[in-house]
Structures are given as structure tokens and as C-alpha cells.
């Protein structure tokens, strides 16, 4: 066993791709759609507004009746009723007639303009109009806001409150979104205990379980932290099989090589191990396998290493299943100071982002503070020994 | 009634402040803390790591035993056992002794360095050391990562996965966060129907209810959309009183002045109306009152106006209750083109952000597309008639 089969990162990604997991679609109520990812392009099924609508409080009329109106020679029209917002207008307006109308109400047949309340006078059932109104004055035409059939949202859009509001305005009660993949998360190691447990000699509190679980939730998928497996076959096997109820299983370190071998042999006994070590630093001790058709990932134990490999290997898969575009979130920054690497070693170096600079974190991936400070990492290829201060670098964000 | 008591925005904000709502604190399990806002500064209750910890697989030893070691004259030490991660070491190492140790395991008493597995040889129970080790080589000292008592997180921090992971590493099972305020949201108007309802003549689908509900959720508070109240006293009163089960009530629209007066008179009958109109555009038809000590907001019906007033009046209150710092989220941009305003009118103009530019939206606040396009708004004070192209503007983000 060991690292006999160390492979390039690209081969590991091909293996993950070969699992053939595809985004799934479900239909959910619009009221639960905030933050979900749209699974289809959306076209407007109706005109907005659906009818010619008054945009002011006033009087609906025939514009041509007003064309000769002026301050000195106002026009008088017969008021034949009142239409409020929500009313179904039954009136058909004829020449010389006007009807009271409130903002948002539908224009009656015949009418093509609305005179504002503040611009007219009323005497008994007569409306006095002092100026000409052009056709559509005070009116929002049916479909002038959004025309029926227009594409309003694209698939893969993560729905914000503006999107759900737009879908509501278009009458969508339900919406098709990508299903959230469900991920089981397991921490391993005899030295790892859960918060709340007593801190005995030689023990440390779990960090990776919480980090991976909540990182998955931030991505928009569902994560279930199953707790800690001890460094023995029974405990590991039990947790892994509990994890197979979900869409995939992620284990993290075991600081020691022994746990890794144990994990690997359990996967091999019940499924298949495809990758046992990747030729990147950090990431050598990464395992990729499957049991019962479910991907099983074994990530390194050191928190920064764990998160780097999660970002390189698992996050792109989750983004794909969630229907999100782009494998990684990346930003361009300038390197804050010169760093040295080892030729022939492909390294992913944690960095903190400060303004336009990427500041390398050299504290070591075992430190919790490295993990806390790091916003992402940069790649230093095999062929590169020195990255210069001020050099343009691409930061993969956690 | 009407707009007799139109007041400046600042007075409306003072009224809201005078309600005296204070952020509330609750203790929740760490596993539910992602995205919540921390209610207290957090100090490390333990050293991390809590003990001197091996950072490599190898042999723990006394560094001074190795100071004369070289390739040509290696030092031989007696191997007296093995300590794995999670073990409680019972050995006390004496001069001339070494003990096998795995990454993450605690150093035994006496030992002060770890020789890497790859750098030594073993013959029987003898360890052969070819180079000197300085004290602390291969060791992470207790408290060297995070020292007990150090402040690690500040109150008002919105917890990311890195924060929850850090809290886990420090052994926190529970965490004190600010309670989420609970907000009831009601749409009003005879013309408004819910998605799923049949679109009859003169009806339009709700947009504000969904928009305000999901905007509140994006902020991190809890929102409950109670549906639509008709333009009659019984229906409005029923919905408002249903809303009083929550911490505050937000009504939006009806488009017509009648609904506004009805809302106002219901609040007055059962509580108090403090503000009936604010001297800003849009926002004149905004009502602020209280019933049974609960704030009741009546926002304008036009979607962009509704959201602008929500952002100016309600969002700062929610941010305060959520424990978030800063009343508004703002960015500096340059105006994309010249805009004219009316002197003596304080205007909030919706804008779309495109790169470094704020592009004014002049389509009218009744349009759904204005609402969809707008990322926020800029203020045009009473004294200003013209904002020049390229002028620096502050955009309040929705």
C-alpha cells in the first residue's frame, strides 16, 4: 500500500468525473427557493402588467377628447363611474366621457389616457380638463414592463430575493431547482474529540469535521457530520457505512499513516480504491474510492491541507451537482513577498488576501491559525522554484 | 389624515429608535452557528495544541543526546516504546533513550525533539541518528498555535465555516449569538393575488411580499409572509393582528391612497401612528406606528419604492437587532450620466451597478424591471438639481 499509486491531480479529477454523478432537478415551492440554484431558463408566461394599468390616481378618458383643452378653454367630460385597483371594469368609455380611476386599476375599454387628480377639477358629475393628454399618458401598457415569452432568468442562477420576487410577479408558485447533494462528513483519529468532551492528555478537539461540514453548507449543499471514528476497523467501518446513506462520504485525517491504510483497506474490502495519493503538496495522503456506487474521499488531517484538498477535489464536484457554473472561485492578486518552492514538487500554498495582495502563510498546515488566516491558496507548479514579490498570482478561494 | 404630518427621514429614524428594541442573545449548539452573528468576544479557553505535539512521524528524543551526531559518527539511542496519536504517554524519557512517535502524538516527559522517520535507521531496538536536532525540532509546543486567553473572535462577527471550525478546535459546544428578529410581512390591495391563483382581469401577482420576506431572510432574520390583505377593515385588521405574534409587522402597497388611510386608522384604533408620510421621494406614503408595543410599518406599493423604504427604515433596525455593525451596506461609484432632480425634493434614485459606475434607472418605480435591475439607490438632497456625469456617488445597496 502506501504511496505506490501517487498520481497527478488531473488524473484524480478524471476519476471523480468518471463517477458519473449528475445534477438532479426537483420542483419546490417558490417560498423555499431563496438561495437555491435555478435548473431551467425561465420565460415570462404572462405580460406584466397583464392589462393597461393606471399609474396615477385620476380620471381615465379618451385622449382625443382633450386635444383642444387649455387653461382658458377647458374641456368638460361626463364622469360615468369609478374604477378601483382590483376592480373588473364593466364600463366602455364613449366620446365625452371620463371615469374615476385609482393607481393600479385597469383602464376601461375606450380609454387611452389618465388625467392626474391634481390637474383637473370636478363640478357635480362633470370633469374639467385644462390641458391635452397624449395617448398612454398616466398608463402602463400591458406587457410594457415584461412582455410574455421574454427570457427573464437563466438556468444556474443562484436565486436572490430579487429573483424570487420576479418569479412571484410572473405568477410562479413552484420553481425547478437543482437538488442539494447530501454529504456525510467523518473525522478520524484516536486523538480527536468533540467539543463538549473532556480534554484528556494527548487529545485535541475536532476542527476538520466542523470545517468541512460548514464549508459544504456555505456552498449550498447539505452536510451531515457523523462525528469521530476511532483508529480501528470496526469504528471506521461503522461510520463509513452510516455515511453511505448519503450521496457521498468525506473522511478527514487521522494524522498518522496507519489510519489512512485502514481507511483504504476498508474501502477496498467493500468497494474500490482508485486513488491512493496525489502528487501535490499538500495532498499526498488523499484517498479516492467508492463503495456501493457512492464516492468516498479520504482527506489529509492537517486543517489547511484538508481544506485545500476539499477545495481542489470535492468542491468542484459539489458545484457541478448544485448546478453552479465554474469549478472554482478565483481572484487575481499580487504576491506580497518572494517565496521559494522545491523544483519537481507541485505545491499549493495557503495565502491570506489583504487588499490587492496575496500574503503567503508559512506557519505550516498543522496550525489552526494557518487555517483561520488563509483565504485560499495559490499553485506553484513543479517547474517553478521561485515566485517573485509582486508577481501576478491566481488565488483559489476556499 | 393624508400627509398632514410629513416629516424628514431623520425624524422617522428617531421614532424607530424610540421603540427601544434591543438585540437579544441566545445560546445555540455550535453545529447550528454557521451564518449567525456572535454576541460576545471569544477568548481561547485552552492552549492549542493543548500539549507538546509531534509534527512528524519518527522518534522522540532528548536533543542534547544528538548534538555530536554526524553521518560519519552517528549516535545510537535505545528505543523504549511507541506513542501513537491519542495515546496517554506513561514513559519518561532518560538520556540515551528514544521512543517511536506518530504525528499528532504527545511528547513524553524528558523528550524535546522528534527525529523524522526518513532521517534515521533502526537496528533491533537501537535508533541510529546521523545529525544533531535542535530543541523543538519536529515539535509543536503547547499554546504555540493559540495561547490560552487570547481573543480569537469579536462580537458582531457573522460566523463563517472558518469561525465555527475555530470554535470547534477550542472546544466550544455552544455559542452565544444574537437572536434572529421575527418579522411578519403582509401585502395589501384588492388587485394583488398570490402565485398559483388565477390571473383575473385587473389583478396582478404579488411582488413586494416575496421581495421583503426574502430580503429579510438574506439579511439573516426570520420572515413570515402572511399573504394578502384586501382593501377592507376586517381583512387588514385580521392580518395585522396575526402579524403581532411576531416582533414587528411590515405591510406594503396597496397602490391607492384609500388602503393607506385604512391601515393608518386601524393602527390608530389599536395603537399609535407616529409617522404618516416622510419627506422623501419615494416614501411619502410610508406609515410608522405601533400596536401592543410592536412596530408596524406601512411601505409604499410600488416595488422599487417599497424596497428603498425598507432599506432606509427597516433594514437598519434589523441589522441592529441582528448585532451587525453599520446601518447600511454602501459602496462608492461614479455616476454614469447626468441626472436632473427637483429643487426642494429629497430624492432616492434607484441605480444599477456596472463595474465602477452607478447607472440611474429612470423607468419609474412601478415597473418590475426597475426593481429587478436596481442594485441600490443614491440620494439627491433637496438643494441639488443636477448630478453631473462622473460625479462620485454613494450607493446604498439593497
Q: What is the mean pLDDT of each run of 10 residues along chain A (398 residues)?
A: 71 94 97 98 96 94 96 97 92 96 94 96 96 96 96 97 97 98 96 95 95 97 97 94 98 70 91 92 88 95 92 96 90 94 87 95 85 92 91 94
Nearest chain B residue to A49, by CA: B204
Q: Which positions in chain A touch B367 (Cβ < 8 Å)? A: 140, 145
Asked if A19 and A31 sit in the same domain, the reply is no
B85 and A213 in contact by Cβ < 8 A? no
Cα–Cα distances in Å, from B281 out to A53, B181, B304? 22, 28, 11
Asked if B41 and B62 sit in the same domain, the reply is no
Distance from CA of A54 to the nearest CA of B (A): 10
Cα–Cα distances in Å, from A85 out to A102, A120, A312, B204? 6, 20, 55, 10
Residue A349 sits in a domain of what CATH number? 2.40.340.10
Q: For residue B3, is it within any domain?
A: no
Tell me the C-alpha distance between B86 and B88, whole Å: 7
The residue segments making up the domain with residue A82 are 53-140
| Residue written as grid cell 462622473 | B390
A50 and B231 in contact by Cβ < 8 A? no
A86 and B173 in contact by Cβ < 8 A? no
Asked if A367 and A259 sit in the same domain, the reply is no
H runs (alpha helix) in A141-299: 161-169, 208-219, 233-243, 257-270
Share of residues in chain A with pLDDT > 70 (%): 97
What pLDDT is stored for residue A4 in this prediction?
A: 55
What pLDDT is stored for residue B254 in this prediction?
A: 59
Interface contact A85, partner B, CB < 8 A: yes
Asked if A174 and A184 sit in the same domain, the reply is no
| Among A217, A366, A230, A236, residue whose Cα is nearest residue A296 | A236
Least CB–CB distance from A214: residue in B140, B164, B203: B164
Distance from CA of B99 to the nearest CA of A (A): 16
Asked if A165 and A35 sit in the same domain, the reply is yes
Q: For residue A130, is it within any domain?
A: yes
Interface contact B94, partner A, CB < 8 A: no
Q: Which positions in chain A touch B140 (Cβ < 8 Å)? A: 364, 366-367
Asked if B188 and B255 sit in the same domain, the reply is yes
Least CB–CB distance from A191: residue in B86, B254, B364: B86
Q: What is the pLDDT of residues A338-369, one digit of tens each?
A: 998 888 889 999 999 999 999 999 887 788 99
Tell me the C-alpha distance between A309 and A283, whole Å: 6
Q: Within 13 Å and on the Cβ side, how many CA atoms surround B363?
A: 20
Residues 321-340 of A with CB under 8 A from B: none
Q: Which positions in chain A touch B371 (Cβ < 8 Å)? A: 162, 165-166
Asked if A358 and A391 sit in the same domain, the reply is yes
Q: For residue B149, is it within any domain?
A: no
Question: CB neighbours of B31 closer than 8 A, spacing ≥ 6?
Answer: A210, A213, A225
Chains A, B: CB pairs < 8 Å:
258
Cell of A294: 457512492
3-class state of residue B271 by DSSP:
strand
Low-confidence ranges of chain B (pLDDT < 50): 1-3, 255
Mutate to test the interface with B, among A85, A105, A109 (most CBs of B within 10 A): A85
Mutate to test the interface with A, among B99, B150, B195 (most CBs of A within 10 A): B195
Distance from CA of A181 to the nearest CA of B (A): 18
Interface contact A255, partner B, CB < 8 A: yes
What pLDDT is stored for residue B181 in this prediction?
A: 98
Asked if B105 and B219 sit in the same domain, the reply is no
B367 and A200 in contact by Cβ < 8 A? no
3-class state of residue B147 by DSSP:
coil
User: DSSP string of B43-90?
Assistant: E-SS-BSSS-EESSSEEEE-GGGGTT--SSS-EEEEEEEEE-TT----
Q: Which positions in chain B touch A364 (Cβ < 8 Å)? A: 55, 140
Tell me the C-alpha distance between B133 and B95, whole Å: 14
Least CB–CB distance from B214: residue in A55, A164, A364: A164
Q: Which of A140, A166, A200 is the last residue of a domain?
A: A140
- Residue B71 burial (C-beta neighbours within 10 Å; 0-12, 13-18, 19+): exposed
Q: Which positions in chain B touch A84 (Cβ < 8 Å)? A: 190, 231, 256, 258
B87 and A231 in contact by Cβ < 8 A? no
Q: For residue A199, is it within any domain?
A: yes
Q: For residue A4, is it within any domain?
A: no
B168 and A205 in contact by Cβ < 8 A? yes
Degrees to nearest 5, angle at CA A228 with A224 and A234: 110
What pLDDT is stored for residue A1 in this prediction?
A: 41
What pLDDT is stored for residue A256 in this prediction?
A: 54
Q: For residue B160, is it within any domain?
A: yes
Distance from CA of A384 to the nearest CA of B (A): 25
Interface contact B43, partner A, CB < 8 A: no
Q: Which of A301, A321, A341 is the last residue of a domain?
A: A321
Tell me the C-alpha distance between B358 and A129, whole Å: 40
Distance from CA of A330 to the nearest CA of B (A): 18
Q: For residue A3, is it within any domain?
A: no
Q: Which positions in chain A touch B208 (Cβ < 8 Å)? A: 165
Q: Which positions in chain B touch A161 (Cβ < 8 Å)? A: 210-211, 213-215, 217-218
Q: For residue A2, is it within any domain?
A: no
Pairing relation of β-strands B25-29 and B174-178?
A: antiparallel
Tell me the C-alpha distance between B195 and A80, whole Å: 34
CB-based contact B272:B293 (threshold 8 Å)? no
Asked if B223 and B365 sit in the same domain, the reply is no
Distance from CA of B80 to the nearest CA of A (A): 19
Tell me the C-alpha distance between B40 and B23, whole Å: 12
Asked if B124 and B243 sit in the same domain, the reply is no
Residues 216-245 of A with CB under 8 A from B: 217-218, 225, 231
Q: How many domains does chain A have?
A: 4
Asked if B17 and B31 sit in the same domain, the reply is no
Cα–Cα distances in Å, from A326 out to A322, B86, B247? 11, 40, 41
Q: Which positions in chain B touch A139 (Cβ < 8 Å)? A: none
Pairing relation of β-strands B357-360 and B347-354?
A: antiparallel
Residue B102 sits in a domain of what CATH number? 2.170.190.11
Tell me the C-alpha distance between A65 and A74, whole Å: 11
Interface contact B106, partner A, CB < 8 A: yes
Degrees to nearest 5, angle at CA A215 with A211 and A217: 125
Degrees to nearest 5, angle at CA A315 with A313 and A318: 115
CB-based contact A69:A75 (threshold 8 Å)? yes
| Among B300, B262, B295, B296, residue whose Cα is nearest residue B281 | B300
Residues 53-72 of B with CB under 8 A from A: 53, 55, 57
Mutate to test the interface with B, among A104, A285, A364 (most CBs of B within 10 A): A104
B146 and A104 in contact by Cβ < 8 A? no
Asked if B189 and B265 sit in the same domain, the reply is yes
Residue B32 sits in a domain of what CATH number? 3.90.105.10
Q: Which positions in chain B touch A166 (Cβ < 8 Å)? A: 207, 368, 371-372
A169 and B207 in contact by Cβ < 8 A? yes
B254 and A190 in contact by Cβ < 8 A? no
Distance from CA of B86 to the nearest CA of A (A): 3
Residues 145-174 of A with CB under 8 A from B: 145-146, 152, 160-162, 164-173
Mutate to test the interface with B, among A32, A86, A140 (most CBs of B within 10 A): A86
Residue A186 sits in a domain of what CATH number? 3.40.980.10
Mutate to test the interface with B, among A116, A175, A254, A368 (most CBs of B within 10 A): A368
Mutate to test the interface with B, among A50, A153, A158, A161 (most CBs of B within 10 A): A161
Amino acid at each position: 500500500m502506501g504511496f505506490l499509486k501517487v498520481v497527478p491531480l488531473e488524473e484524480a479529477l478524471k476519476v471523480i468525473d468518471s463517477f458519473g454523478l449528475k445534477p438532479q432537478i426537483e420542483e419546490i415551492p417558490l417560498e423555499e427557493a431563496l438561495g437555491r440554484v435555478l435548473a431551467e431558463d425561465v420565460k415570462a408566461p404572462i405580460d406584466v402588467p397583464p392589462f393597461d394599468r393606471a399609474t396615477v390616481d385620476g380620471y381615465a378618458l379618451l385622449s382625443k377628447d382633450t386635444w383642444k383643452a387649455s387653461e382658458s378653454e377647458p374641456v368638460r367630460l361626463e364622469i360615468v363611474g369609478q374604477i378601483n385597483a382590483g376592480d373588473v371594469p364593466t364600463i366602455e368609455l364613449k366620446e365625452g366621457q371620463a371615469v374615476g380611476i385609482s393607481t393600479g386599476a385597469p383602464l376601461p375599454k375606450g380609454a387611452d389616457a389618465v388625467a392626474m387628480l391634481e390637474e383637473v377639477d370636478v363640478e357635480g358629475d362633470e370633469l374639467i380638463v385644462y390641458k391635452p393628454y397624449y395617448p398612454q399618458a398616466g398608463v402602463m401598457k400591458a406587457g410594457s414592463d415584461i412582455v410574455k415569452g421574454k427570457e427573464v432568468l437563466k438556468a444556474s442562477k443562484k436565486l436572490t430575493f430579487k429573483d424570487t420576487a420576479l418569479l412571484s410577479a410572473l405568477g410562479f408558485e413552484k420553481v425547478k431547482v437543482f437538488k442539494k447533494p447530501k454529504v456525510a462528513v467523518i473525522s478520524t483519529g484516536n486523538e480527536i474529540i468533540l467539543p463538549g468532551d473532556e480534554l484528556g492528555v494527548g487529545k485535541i478537539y475536532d476542527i476538520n469535521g466542523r470545517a468541512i461540514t460548514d464549508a459544504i453548507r456555505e456552498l449550498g449543499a447539505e452536510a451531515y457530520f457523523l462525528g469521530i471514528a476511532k483508529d480501528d476497523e470496526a469504528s471506521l467501518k461503522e461510520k463509513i457505512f452510516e455515511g453511505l446513506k448519503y450521496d457521498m462520504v468525506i473522511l478527514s485525517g487521522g494524522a498518522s499513516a496507519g489510519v489512512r491504510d485502514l481507511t483504504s483497506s476498508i474501502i477496498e474490502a467493500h468497494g474500490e480504491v482508485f486513488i491512493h495519493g496525489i502528487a501535490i503538496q499538500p495532498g499526498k495522503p488523499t484517498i479516492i474510492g467508492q463503495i456501493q456506487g457512492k464516492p468516498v474521499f479520504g482527506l489529509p488531517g492537517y486543517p489547511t491541507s484538508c481544506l485545500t484538498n476539499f477545495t481542489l477535489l470535492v468542491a468542484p464536484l459539489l458545484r457541478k451537482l448544485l448546478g453552479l457554473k465554474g469549478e472554482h472561485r478565483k481572484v487575481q492578486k499580487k504576491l506580497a513577498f518572494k517565496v521559494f518552492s522545491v523544483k519537481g514538487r507541485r505545491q499549493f500554498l495557503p495565502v491570506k488576501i489583504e487588499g490587492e495582495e496575496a500574503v503567503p502563510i508559512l506557519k505550516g498546515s498543522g496550525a489552526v491559525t494557518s487555517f483561520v488566516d488563509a483565504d485560499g491558496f495559490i499553485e506553484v507548479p513543479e517547474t517553478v522554484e521561485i515566485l517573485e514579490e509582486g508577481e501576478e498570482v491566481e488565488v483559489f478561494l476556499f
